[in-house]
Amino acid sequence: MNTIGTDFHKRTSTFYVLNHDGTKMKSCKIENNRDNLRTFVSQIPGPKQLAVEATRSWSLFYDTVNDLVDHFYLAHPKKLKAITQSETKNDQNDAREITKLTHSGFLPTAHITSVDTRQLRNLLRCRRFLVNQRRSIRNQVQTLIDRNIWAADRPKSFKSPFCSRGLKWLNAIDLPQRERFILNELLKTYQHLLKQISTLEDFIQTQTVDLPGLQFLRTVPGFRMSKINAYIILVESSDISRFYKARGYARYVGLIPREFSSGDKHRTGRLIKDANMHLRTAFIESTLAAIRADKGLKAYYKQVKSRQGSGPAIIATARKLAYAVYHVLKEQRAYRPEPIIPPAAVCHSFPISNCN
């Protein structure tokens, strides 16, 4: 089988092609457009496999040439960089290294999601972006209030200035001209974001009716009320069967700590950064609701909190929730709560005397 390696950029692509026996067939750089890419790939005779690094626009390249090759591989950027570190880095060398690794079967690959999953993922990430913008606007408004109004002079009838009464108060308070102009513009942006988020969520609801596994995931505590987080879990996880164990899935989510162990010494650090942050955020948000809904998770949370504090307890419970989601989705079954095991009773030993 012939092997094609590609160093894909925004405007150009560099190709390096090997024969089935590993000898060089050709290499070239072409301008990126649909016709050029399809023409070049279709000119390679016989069965062929193609590999490209997972860049920002890899999906455009994949959708363009996937039907022309027998196998398409998406190279994992971080793992690929660890293997191919070189002092002479250029486009042709990068394409050659990708080709050689693919030909030898040692290319570190990333998961390729379907077009439908990618588009749903983009929808949900767009919503997350707007929600983050909304939170940023709220923080800006709160900062403006703090620098202009004493806490003792604020109304006590509401906790948040973003409820209906709070918004009326924000529009009525007396502020210097420049500060009032800033507040008005922030409130306009805030109201616009609320409408955008609502419209986007309504559209998401119409696109996620038939998500496989949704009926099982909704039985897990933390996802019964929050449909959006359930959608995020399903779409970001994609094919759950690609994870062999629940711990591997929890690592992908980013709920496994770093480990620094050697010999008899065992040390753990902060959570790993090489993870899916969208999944991690969804799990942590859902954990707060799951603790209130499930007695077993609540007991586990309290147990860890008593030893390590609330932060580590939330992460540990989120990890436990990720294990549960993994088994629910992989086995296609409803959630089964774990039995609550009470703390072991303290037993005192007494000598047994011989009584005559």
User: What integer pLDDT is reported at residue 350 of this predicted model?
Assistant: 37
Of the candidate ranges 78-82, 133-137, 254-258, 349-353, the one whose mean pLDDT is the lowest = 349-353
pLDDT-based confidence at 157, cuts 50/70/90? confident
Would you kindly state where each structural domain of the chain is located, as residue ranges? Answer: 2-104, 115-207, 214-331
Q: Residues 261-279: pLDDT tens digits? A: 777 777 777 888 888 999 9
Strand pairing class (24-31; 12-18)? antiparallel
Using CB atoms within 10 A of its CB, is residue 8 exposed (0-12), middle (13-18) or buried (19+)?
buried
Taking the mean position of all CA atoms in its chain, how far away is CA 315?
A: 15
One of 3.20.20.70, 3.30.420.40, 3.40.50.720, 3.10.520.10 is the CATH number of 2-104, namely: 3.30.420.40
Nearest to 271 by CA among 225, 319, 235: 319
| Nearby residues of 24 by Cβ (< 8 Å), 6 or more positions away | 16, 17, 18
Q: Residues 49-70: pLDDT tens digits? A: 999 999 999 999 999 999 999 9
Q: Using CA atoms, how far apart are residues 3 and 9, in angstroms rounded to an integer?
A: 19
User: What integer pLDDT is reported at residue 340 of this predicted model?
Assistant: 62
